Amino acid sequence: MPSSLTADQIASYQSNGFVHPIQVFDRARAAALRAEVETLERDHGPGAGGHDLAQFMRVNGQLVIPLLARIAADPAILAPVTSILGPDLMVWSVELFIKEPGTKKTVSWHQDLTYWGMGETDEELTAWLALSDVSVQAGCMRFIPGSHRNAILPHADTFGDDNLLSRGQEIAGIDEAAAQYGPLEPGQMSFHHGRTFHASGPNMSGDRRIGMAIRYVTPEVRQADMARDYAMLVQGQDREKGWINVAPPARLFDPAALALYDEVLSAQAAALTAGAEGQVELYAAPETAQGASL
């Protein structure tokens, strides 16, 4: 049976704003999921509907890629998420963060909630699942304990070539000495709060670093910058009816799913790119989408 978090793990999340490692899959299952991701990359790189696969993998891939929707709804992941957020769970987005071996790709210090338009809610978390060895050498995440108690701080857009974030956003003045590493083995995951300061370094290992970020919210969360946002109910009920509920895709690149993807992208783009001085390619419409580095 899927396992909930222990009392110590719940206390760690509440105190520090993150918790790791959480064991959800064995190495064989993680390897099988990795193989499915890499098969998608090999066979479907051009994507569909005017979007390449790289964009789908970084923005709302659960809407068009059944694999991502299936993982996000897996009971082994939902059980520990329930320990923090309760029984009614919705998936707001799923994305892959992949760093090739020996590359300089990084993620700068930031808070996830900065541009999501949800305010400073506590009714969300990111479950970050490792599909490869995510060691310190491979560029695992680092967290600042207790930083989730801060408000959302100002972020500067850098649009750095080696920054995996959509606009290279970063918080200045982080005390690096206070950071804690969050290494994960294949099949393990971490949770972090949307206000927790976190970052990750380059992958200096000999293997790809593959992680999947699943953003869960409860039905009580509201998008202040949109009339209604979109989410996929994966457990329990949405009694609030404040979200536009979407279904998982019937098959890869289903035409109806591609139309929904464009609808969601268009609706979310204004909030997610607000204040940016340059074009945020990850949220570009089909005619201008150029994808993004995995």
pTM: 0.90
pLDDT for residue 1: 59
Asked if 27 and 187 touch (Cβ cutoff 8 Å), the reply is yes
Per-residue pLDDT tens over the stretch 5-58:
999 999 999 999 999 999 999 999 999 999 999 999 999 999 999 999 999 999
Pick out the chain residues at pLDDT < 50.
280, 288-294
pLDDT for residue 290: 39
Residue with tokens 């520990």: 80
- Match domain 7-278 to its CATH number in 3.90.1150.10, 3.40.50.300, 2.60.120.620, 1.20.1050.10: 2.60.120.620
Which H helix or E strand runs over 84? helix 75-85
Candidates 100, 114, 95, 107; CA nearest to 168 is 107
pLDDT for residue 278: 55
pLDDT for residue 293: 32
pLDDT for residue 138: 96
155-161-162 Cα angle (round to 5): 85
